[in-house]
Structure 1
């Protein structure tokens, strides 16, 4: 993802992360592949590790939650929104499904995970 110093326009892909059973192994792979360095966010954030290039955040890797319906490791693309709660309500109205309701992510803002009517998952 390209780094920005200003807010992303609504609906723009703004973040990606990978949830896997073995985050250390994945970090070793992507670190060697792309030169990413990782900063573990600690126990409070489940050891979610922010990947950086030249000191700028580009992605993250975290531990996979228990699988739902056989879902395995996956990259999630997050779309920028001005209000995660309002957007989550619109998702349901449009025929999508909110898989993880909006919640605070420290001081970074709010996030949610949803799926479109075809089942494709994305984050807010």
Structure 2
């Protein structure tokens, strides 16, 4: 269907560091890409890729997590950072889940999303 994500790309300065960071954070399989200069990303869902030499790239995807607090702690353990987005609205949390914006250990932005509990 048109409008649904079909691929994502993460630009980083150093693809080997990116591979280590995202592989450790999400358990992704990152295999050498067809160009030999990056990686294909196996997520079990949406396919993706990673390329290097892109210090100021700005991918902006939210990745689903089961426990956002645990994921935030893991981001920090791996050398990433989490932006303070302030107090969230409990009614919004119940309807849409919890969100936060992060940066990996190279400064590339991404988001975390914990869907609402059923």
TM superposition score normalised by structure 1: 0.41
TM superposition score normalised by structure 2: 0.42
